[in-house]
A and B are shown apart, each in its own frame.
Chain A
């Protein structure tokens, strides 16, 4: 411990110490446009630990552990193939329906689980929130990131699956991380709003299952977005997950068309949602700790 004991006048001592110890000023919230993103970076190790905790706990709690992450999307795909592919005979862009569907189910599973996790993250960590300070933004970010571990496992299965159908990856696969990034930011953009609302209003949690179900139907998981009339395509692209899923399918199988106009709409709306979400979250952060 460094300590100044040479009894200088207070002002001098403060001046001497200033470079050694950082000074922090505590004030009433004034500028809610100040997002303090730099501070988030200094807490990156805590972010890592929170993600690590989520992953660890999830795999400890389920007896089947990792296998569940594989079985769940596989079963979804099988049932969808049976009903939507074989019985309803939905078009699948010239791909086997199972591949068509599985390529969407994997990113969709990430999105829906991570969105629900992000929505609940403030409520689930209320105890910690009221007992210790860290930038609260870390919590929804950790929820969005910890879902990526499940996604990685599902993605490996997806790769093997497509490969077994004789579909070989092309250079388009290199663009896949960008679509994944778009999915992560969609989770964040929407999750920031929902996590703050969920902490403030206790009826929000009842809306979430409906919300997710609604969104599933509005996304090209089981059907092709080419079924949407051309002139409404841009409107459809306002659902960012449409861009993500189309992009996923395209970069993985190189069939169909790369999403273009609709993707711009998706990116635009995600940027808008994320910035708005950051501001809203920042503004509500204070009341969240006080309400608990």
Chain B
């Protein structure tokens, strides 16, 4: 049992929803002030919701703690509170040691500046001092595999090079506590593996890491303990294997176990699986070819003129594809919504399905499908990382020469 370096008690965060909170106009506030001078500048309380409620946790020195949960469950909010980007509405936390937060790759990068200049800038923003950066500079450049381009403005970098440099800077941070949000999900597989290795080194060096990830395999590999957050509440904390498997079960079981789900809703997505190719695992694609996917929907009250949306995101939340089916009529019962694709040319990474069902502007259900879709097919693209795009298309090539 070693020292607790992060001690959080009943952390809660309330956010305000609605137009007022996100995009205010001074004009409106002033107009309100003219109409009712005493109330206009008081905090408007439109709709508010708890993004995080009464979350307590302890992270011990040298521990790698994973944070899992669906999108919007409050993981990132928790990380933002611990890294002091936002302050809690209630509760408190005590942190012993220097904190480095890595919520994005390339924080503070400026496109006009060179790789060298950005290394210093980003390093300083992430909390390193000048001597520290100078001392590690060569190591950072070597890690990023960029030596000849280090004095080129980063706007001329390929996305692969950019990410490599950005991660290299971040990976050489040496705080006692490192808070990481999903950033390992970037770059090509080879570089990801290198980053994972680096994170492992960091952990072995006795530093504490709190890691948010949707990639459960990563969590299994790196973390000793896992905290599962659901609907802003702490659902379970414990040894990795135990919590991750409970999470997987809950996310695929009929109840789906989310506190944010309204049980009285007309319909609910329950699970998904790959029907074809049938040889692969139910959530993994090992080849590029015809794919059929089934999404199970439980309907409790008849649906008329339903609008059913589907979207596929990559781990960086970039939209890969989306579609909507109008005029869906469904009787109560269990249904499989089946999507058949001639092929899914996806790069070998992990992806998330998002399913939604609307009836006349009312959102009946919105589901971030769990587990994620793993694509482990061969990569049919250019050998160089920076020439890897979104589409993983097998191609045929020949030369036809005009006769005569």
Contact = CB atoms under 8 A, between A and B. Distances in A.
Given A5-B2, A56-B117, A202-B23, A28 B88 contact: yes
B86 A289 contact: yes
A203 B3 contact: no
Contacts of A13: 2-3
Given A14-B96, A56-B117, A57-B110, A26 B82 contact: yes
Interface stretch (B97-105, B368-376, B387-395): B97-105
A216 B109 CA distance: 35
A130 to B, nearest CB: 6
B42 to A, nearest CB: 13
B94 interface: yes
B155 to A, nearest CB: 11
Given A53-B113, A133-B84, A23 B1 contact: no
A46 B90 contact: no
Interface string B318-345: 0000000000000000000000000000
A128 B2 contact: no
A230 interface: no
Interface in B32-62: 61-62
A286 B86 contact: yes
B26 A204 contact: yes
A128 B103 CA distance: 10
B117 A133 contact: no
Interface residues on B, range: 35 or more
Contacts of B80: 130
A52 B113 CA distance: 11
A240 B86 CA distance: 35
A34 to B, nearest CB: 13
B24 A24 contact: no
Contact of B92 (A14, A26, A131, A203): A26
A25 B97 contact: no
Interface string A3-24: 1110100100110010001111
Nearest to A58: B112
Contact of A7 (B1, B21, B82, B127): B1
A156 interface: no
A54 to B, nearest CB: 10
A127 B122 CA distance: 13
Interface in A166-200: 197, 200
A145 B104 CA distance: 28
B22 interface: yes
B112 A60 contact: yes
A108 to B, nearest CB: 26
12 contacts: A24-B84, A25-B93, A28-B90, A53-B110, A56-B112, A60-B112, A60-B113, A127-B104, A132-B107, A133-B101, A200-B24, A201-B26
Given A28-B87, A133-B83, A197-B26, 15 more contacts: A5-B2, A13-B2, A14-B4, A21-B96, A21-B176, A26-B82, A45-B129, A49-B121, A53-B110, A57-B110, A133-B85, A134-B125, A200-B24, A201-B26, A202-B25
Interface of B: 1-5, 15, 21-27, 29, 61-62, 80-99, 101, 103-104, 107-108, 110, 112-113, 117, 120-121, 124-127, 129-130, 153, 176, 205-207
